[in-house]
């Protein structure tokens, strides 16, 4: 008598993989006590299955509670099945192997329990004459992949570029929106999501040559004051951020809350590339992750569009 095979769902957790699930929220109460410890969790959350859980923070309009290995980590307003970080890592490495690209370095950061950032260096010491001085600089480039179980970052595939200097580094992202993919649609299954991520990685790698051509072109163009004012208005630059820009040769003069003029210090900045480097460099000083991405993603495209007003 033959044994009956046990069918395992395609998206079932692998051995050692994080188990992720969502539960619908029935009620949330904000609890107050006289004495509050540092790890105080004021939100008492009741799920539809009768369970009671505690969180330190909740998202806007929380409808579902996200669990990682049966532990509540965050809330979200849209019900969907998050993709395990390890699955995205496997998808990325499999895709690079198919493209015959060997990772030189892999770094994984977890800013929060439910957020994940993976960077894979694919080439080091790529030389390019850059900036208004037209000096050869060394670049490392590769793939950056992000994920978050609460949709705060979502899944993004993009180019990661780092200029090898001590302090004034460039961390730029691919400006082409089609290289950026965020998983929110609740009807999309994980197999389709991973296939889309694989396609994004392939497109991103293929775009690298054009990326460096654009950098070289920007190193030979001087932006006008009108172009720079338009760029910073579109980026919704803050006054506090404009103070940081002075370190990179970009000075913004304000008329109350409006940008009056933008000037470049010829010794520190004189080209569109210098402007790009200044904007992406100050992104590392902001506190909010969402604002950091706004100052890193699509800056090339913003600068190029501003040429024509």
pLDDT at 9: 40
Whether residue 48 is found in the same domain as residue 159 = no
5: in domain: no
Under 8 Å between Cβ of 56 and 42: yes
pLDDT in tens, the chain (309 residues): 444 433 334 455 566 677 888 899 999 998 876 555 555 678 999 999 999 999 988 888 899 999 988 899 888 887 777 888 888 999 999 999 999 999 999 999 988 878 899 999 998 888 877 766 667 777 888 888 988 888 777 888 888 777 766 445 555 554 444 566 776 665 567 788 888 889 988 888 888 878 888 888 888 899 999 999 999 999 999 999 999 999 999 999 999 889 999 999 888 888 998 898 899 889 888 988 788 878 887 788 899 999 987
Whether residue 64 is found in the same domain as residue 92 = no
Domain of residue 212 covers 85-216
Whether residue 183 is found in the same domain as residue 256 = no
pLDDT at 13: 58
201: in domain: yes
DSSP state letters, 17-46: PPPEEEEEEEEEEE---SS--TT---EEEE
Whether residue 89 is found in the same domain as residue 193 = yes
203: in domain: yes
Q: Is-above-0.95 flag for pTM?
A: no
Please give the C-alpha separations between residue 183 and each of 110, 195, 239, 262, in angstroms, as whole numbers.
19, 12, 33, 38
Whether residue 97 is found in the same domain as residue 48 = no
Whether residue 118 is found in the same domain as residue 210 = yes
8: in domain: no
Whether residue 287 is found in the same domain as residue 302 = yes
């Amino acid at each position: 008598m033959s044994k009956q095979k046990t069918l395992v769902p395609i998206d079932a957790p692998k051995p050692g993989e994080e188990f992720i699930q969502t539960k619908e929220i029935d009620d949330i109460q904000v609890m107050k006590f006289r004495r509050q410890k540092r790890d105080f969790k004021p939100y008492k959350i009741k799920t539809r299955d009768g369970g009671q859980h505690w969180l330190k923070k909740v998202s806007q309009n929380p409808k579902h509670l996200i669990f990682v290995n049966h532990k509540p980590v965050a809330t979200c307003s849209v019900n969907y099945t998050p993709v395990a970080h390890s699955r995205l890592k496997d998808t990325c490495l499999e895709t690079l192997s198919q493209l015959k690209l060997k990772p030189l370095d892999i770094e994984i950061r977890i800013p929060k329990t439910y957020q994940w950032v993976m960077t894979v260096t694919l080439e080091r010491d790529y030389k390019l004459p850059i900036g208004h001085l037209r000096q050869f600089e060394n670049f490392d480039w590769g793939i950056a992949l992000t994920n978050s179980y609460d949709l705060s970052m979502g899944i993004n595939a993009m180019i990661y570029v780092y200029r090898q200097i001590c302090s004034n580094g460039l961390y730029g992202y691919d400006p082409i929106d089609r290289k950026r993919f965020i998983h929110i649609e609740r009807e999309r299954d994980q197999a389709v999501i991973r296939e889309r991520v694989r396609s994004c990685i392939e497109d991103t790698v293929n775009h690298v040559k054009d990326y460096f051509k654009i950098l070289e072109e920007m190193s030979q163009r001087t932006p006008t004051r009108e172009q720079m004012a338009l760029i910073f208005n579109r980026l919704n630059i803050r006054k506090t951020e404009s103070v940081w820009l002075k370190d990179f040769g970009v000075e913004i003069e304000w008329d109350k809350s409006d940008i009056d003029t933008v000037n470049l210090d010829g010794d520190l900045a004189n080209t569109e590339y210098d402007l790009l480097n200044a904007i992406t460099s100050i992104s590392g000083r902001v506190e909010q992750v969402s604002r950091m991405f706004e100052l890193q993603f699509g800056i090339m495209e913003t600068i190029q569009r501003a040429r024509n007003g």
